[in-house]
Amino acid sequence: MKFLELNKKRHATKHFNDKTVDFKDVRTAIEIAQLAPSAHNIQPWKFVLVKDKKAALAEDLPALNKDQVEGAQYVIALFTDTDLVQRARKIARIGSKNLPDDMIGYFMETLPARFADFDEQTKGEYLALNAGLVAMNLVLALTDQGISSNIILGFDKTKTNTILDIDERFRPELLITVGYTDEKIEPSYRLPVDEIIEER
């Protein structure tokens, strides 16, 4: 599917039918999504596929979000790794056969020193930006397979790790509901492109 057509086809789906989504298709979408760019190629993301714990995850959500989570075939909880020092070194270890020596040094020494100087706000902004990049790639990859989705930002992030039994090192960023729909969804309004471009 051409990129323009793919973007026009992607819509926020709020109601899902009962058609089963194959785990392999979701895995494929995540495999594609992880090709997204990330700052320093740090790839700080972690994807948790939620099926059995959807009800617990939905419990305190606003009504519309609750219905989406409960009705989806899967909910993908996207987390980011707050231990950027260890993440950088993991990249070096896993990529050691493919990275030149200077890049291994970069991931083992240079980046960890930079990350150690991040305050909480800087780290939070850094992680959120990277999460947004991979999330957009993921919903487009799902759309390309004919699977509907929606990104949810409105949820209680203080409870997510406990509900899903995820180490506190990982920070919940957003939820992506996944399924099929019978609804014909109309495209939402977009500002005219000339309203959002300036030249200097």
Q: Provide mean pLDDT across the span 39-68.
A: 94
For 34, residues 6+ apart whose C-beta sits below 8 A from its C-beta are 43, 45, 134, 137
Q: How far is it, in rounded angstroms, from Cα 105 to Cα 100?
A: 9
* Rg of the Cα atoms in the chain: 18
Average pLDDT, the chain: 93
How do residues 59-70 score in pLDDT, each as one tens digit?
989 888 999 999
| Protein fold of 3-83+121-183 | NADH Oxidase (3.40.109)
Beta bridge partners of 81: 170
pTM of this prediction?
0.93
How do residues 54-94 score in pLDDT, each as one tens digit?
999 999 898 889 999 999 999 999 999 999 999 998 888 88
What's the pLDDT band for 39 if we cut at 50, 70, 90? Answer: very high
Identify the pLDDT of residue 121.
97
> Residue 53 above 90 pLDDT?
yes
Identify the pLDDT of residue 79.
98
Identify the pLDDT of residue 175.
97
